[in-house]
Structure 1
Amino acid sequence: MLTVKFFTDYNQAFSKFELKMMELEVLKNEANKHVGRLNSLKMRYMDWFLRSQQSFLDSMKLIHILGGDLLPREINTIRNYKRVMRFSGQLPSNGTPRDGSQGKMFGFLMFWEELLMLKRDNDALYKKICDFCSSIRRLREPILKDEIDRLHQRLNLLLSEDFDFTSLSNDRHNLFTYRVALHDHRYHGLVSYIPYLLSIANKLCYWTSKLHIEFV
């Protein structure tokens, strides 16, 4: 009974508009926390890339060559990447640097798996945004919700094992991916893919933080 009375008194102490304002602030705080998780993944990916990208690419190229016609001609999707990685694990150990190829390739895949987990958090956040927007009369700038919808749809389209990432070009925040040597440029799409997706998810959170309710 005391709990019910507390919430009744609490709701009576604020107008509906004020309660929705507080609800929106909770949503923005959740978006900011999600940005922190996205940025953590990006920073760890950047560190891995700057330290290991050449040995990673060399290992992948070696396995790709050894596989010949048994493997896809292009590593242009995550699904094809996984095929190359699985093939590397089937090769017998011969005491050469080739033996460590699968481990190096698995490092990249761990970033992908973590991104998939963050995508689930992103989806949950997006649902809360939609539910909130449906519960109010009007946003101050409805176009921001349109942009959030667009980014969410784009993330759903691009974050797939079958998406061809060869044509992606990163923005100024991900220029580090262009450190790939010219002779390895065919793999630029692969190493750019995760930072590109993180940027989209980050923008969705950014526009969430800019939402405001119109007082009507």
Structure 2
Amino acid sequence: MIAILDPTILHFPSVETTHPSGILAIGGALTADWLRLAYQQGVFPWFEDGEPITWWAPNPRMVVIPADFKPSKSMRNILNRNLFQVTFNTNFEAVIQHCQRVKRQGQNGTWITDDMLEAYCELHRQGLAKSVEVWQDGTLVGGLYGIDLGHIFCGESMFSLVSNASKVAFHRLIQKLKEDGYSLLDCQVYNPHLALLGATEMPRSEYMQYLIKGK
């Protein structure tokens, strides 16, 4: 049974009640407070413009364990060539705006609505949402953003304007998470591109244990 949330009551049901589709609830509000609570409880929003606010807690969960991650030989070659400059959390709004605008195969519109963009920008101002920027000759050509829970980084979206730019952002983020002792990079749901980058599926129950351990 998919829960219907009252936008005036900040609350999510247990992820154990999630529908087999991965949808936990519909409704609520798309504000910084709702988003903060969602990620703290293993939940994230995902819907297209014009659809109701939809909250997910899929089983299994797509993740990377930074301590165990090893980039492919081809990716190591790209990283070692230093084709790009990488910065962390220096231009969040530009990154999320690019993620909103980029055309994606098989997707009619953007799932980053204007309300969602503003809510994540507010979380960035609060220090919870962070970005990775990839530059080439002083131009922003790729990057990603997500929610930093202090022990888990919840990746939200990435973009690339030139070949391999988003892959470099992904790998440099994992490298930093490994150096800083993070437990997981949360990639949310399976897709072939993430699998090729090295993400694997983890049971939701195990993911929740990682989440709880950091609280």
Larger radius of gyration: 1
**Higher relative contact order, structure no. (Cα contacts within 8 Å, ≥ 6 residues apart):** 1
Structure number having the greater helix percentage? 1
Q: TM-score, normalised by structure 1?
A: 0.25
Structure number having the greater strand percentage? 2
Q: TM-score, normalised by structure 2?
A: 0.25
